[in-house]
Amino acid sequence: MTSIYVRRRALAITAGLSFARRMAAGFLVWAILSGNNVMAASIPRILVAFGDSLTAGYLLPQDKGFVPVLEREPKARGLNVTVINGGVSGDTTSDGLARLDWTIPDGTQGVILELGANDMLRGLDPAIPRANLRDMLTKLRERRIAVLLVGMKAQRNLGPAYVTAFDSLYPDLAREFKVPLYPFFLEGVASEPSLSLQDGLHPNAQGVEKIVSNILPQVEDFLASLP
């Protein structure tokens, strides 16, 4: 049963409008009175997956990378979602910071931020990706673009001090900026050779499917949280 509040909200939309404008607002009023499902399905959502080769789909067919597979799933559920591939193979967080402003187009509602793996592989001081990611989160907040932060984990042969400093930067930043965190992009894939390319670092097509399956519930929650 439609609540009194919702009916008042619908009436408020048309109050004071001319007859022609009331007619134009008719669909919106009907959608409010009949519930939010139609509206939610029809509202376009634009996300940018901003990252490195893991986002870009390194050595995979165009339709098998992280972005197209991720976009496919919400669309199959009737959501109007566009996911832009903002991944560049080899990028460090410094590279990402340098191109952030022109890579994220106006109209973007959310960013899936996945960077830091190449900083770690190069053995860079974890203070560097921490500072760069903080600057990126600050810039995106200033543009009022929501962020889902995606974490990475350091290779254990880098030593306990490095592992602790690197692994902690993602949850620390998520708390600082009050953004959702997906803790580890390669969860369930990094330890499975059958899900990785021969280099042992990047997911194969089956690995991407696993990654998307794991992260999808959080991405859908992220989409639902967008204004």
Q: In whole angstroms, give the CA distance from residue 69 to residue 73.
A: 7
Active-site residue among 52, 53, 119, 196?
Answer: 53
* 3-state per-residue secondary structure call for 121-187: HCCCCCHHHHHHHHHHHHHHHHCCCEEEEECCCCCHHHCHHHHHHHHHHHHHHHHHHCCCEECCCCC
On the CB side of 66, how many CA atoms lie within 13 Å of its CA?
A: 29
Q: Among this protein's residues, is 202 annotated catalytic?
A: yes
Active-site residue among 18, 106, 194, 199?
Answer: 199
Q: Tell me the CA distances in angstroms from 226 to 30, 45, 196, 214, one per residue in order.
A: 22, 8, 33, 20
Active-site residue among 91, 119, 167, 202?
Answer: 202
SS3 category, 12 = helix
Q: Among this protein's residues, is 95 annotated catalytic?
A: no
Q: In whole angstroms, give the CA distance from residue 9 to residue 101.
A: 37
Q: In whole angstroms, give the CA distance from residue 139 to residue 42.
A: 29
Q: Among this protein's residues, is 199 annotated catalytic?
A: yes
Joined together, the tokens standing for residue 104 give: 């994220």
Q: Which residues are catalytic?
A: 53, 199, 202
